[in-house]
Amino acid sequence: MTTASVAAPERSLQSYLTERAGRGKLLMPYVTAGVTPDWLELVDAVIDAGADAVEIGIPFSDPAIDGTTIQEATVVALEAGMTPAAALQQLKSRRFGVPLIAMTHYNLVYRYGHERFAADLVAAGGWATILPDLPFEHAGEWIAAADAEGIENVLLAAPVTSDERLAMVVEKTGGFVYVVSTMGTTGARAGVDSAATVLARRVKSITDKPAVVGFGISSAETAVTAAREADGVIVASALMRRVLDGATVEDAAQLVAEIRAGLDAAYATQDL
Partner 1 sequence: MTATRQLPPAASPLNMGEPDGLGFFGEFGGRYVGEPLIGACQEVEEAFIDAWADPGFRDEFLHVLNTYGGRPSPTTECDNLGEQLGLRLLLKREDLNHTGSHKINNVIGQALLAKRMGKTRLIAETGAGQHGVATATAAALLGMSCTVYMGEVDMRRQALNVFRMRLLGTEVVPAMSGSRTLKDAVNEAMRAWVSEVGDTHYCLGSVMGPHPYPWMVRTFHEVIGTEARQQVMDLTGGLPDVAVACVGGGSNAAGLFAGFADDPEVRLVGAEPAGGAAAGRGVPAIVHGMRAYFMQDEVGQILEAESISAGLDYPGLGPEHSHLAVTKRAEYHPVTDDEVLEAFQLLSRTEGIIPALESAHAIAWVANNAAELQGQTVLVNLSGRGDKDVEQVQEILER
Task: Give the span between the Cα atoms of 242 and 178, in whole angstroms.
Answer: 23
Active-site option among 44, 52, 55, 152: 55
Q: Tell me, what amino acid is at 57?
A: G
Q: Which is nearer to partner 1, 14 or 185 (CB)?
A: 185
Binding site for partner 1 (CB under 8 A): 60-65, 67, 71, 75, 78, 83-85, 105-108, 110-112, 132-135, 137-138, 155-162, 165, 169, 180, 183-185
Q: Is 171 a catalytic residue?
A: no
Provide, rounded to whole angstroms, the least separation between the CB of residue 90 and partner 1.
15
Contacts of 130 (CB under 8 A, 6+ apart): 55, 101, 102, 103, 104, 153, 154, 156, 178
Q: Is 66 a catalytic residue?
A: yes
Q: Which is nearer to partner 1, 9 or 140 (CB)?
A: 140
Exposed, middle or buried, 95 (CB in 10 Å: 0-12/13-18/19+)?
A: exposed
Task: Give the span between the Cα atoms of 158 and 152, in whole angstroms.
Answer: 20
Provide, rounded to whole angstroms, the least separation between the CB of residue 184 and partner 1.
4
Measure the CA angle with vertex 253, ends 131 and 46; round to 5°: 50
Q: Which is nearer to partner 1, 11 or 105 (CB)?
A: 105
Q: Which is nearer to partner 1, 180 or 255 (CB)?
A: 180
User: Do residues 233 and 26 lie in contact, with contact meaning Cβ atoms separated by under 8 Å?
Assistant: yes
Provide, rounded to whole angstroms, the least separation between the CB of residue 125 and partner 1.
20
Active-site option among 66, 149, 152, 231: 66
Provide, rounded to whole angstroms, the least separation between the CB of residue 138 and partner 1.
5
Which residues are marked as active site?
55, 66
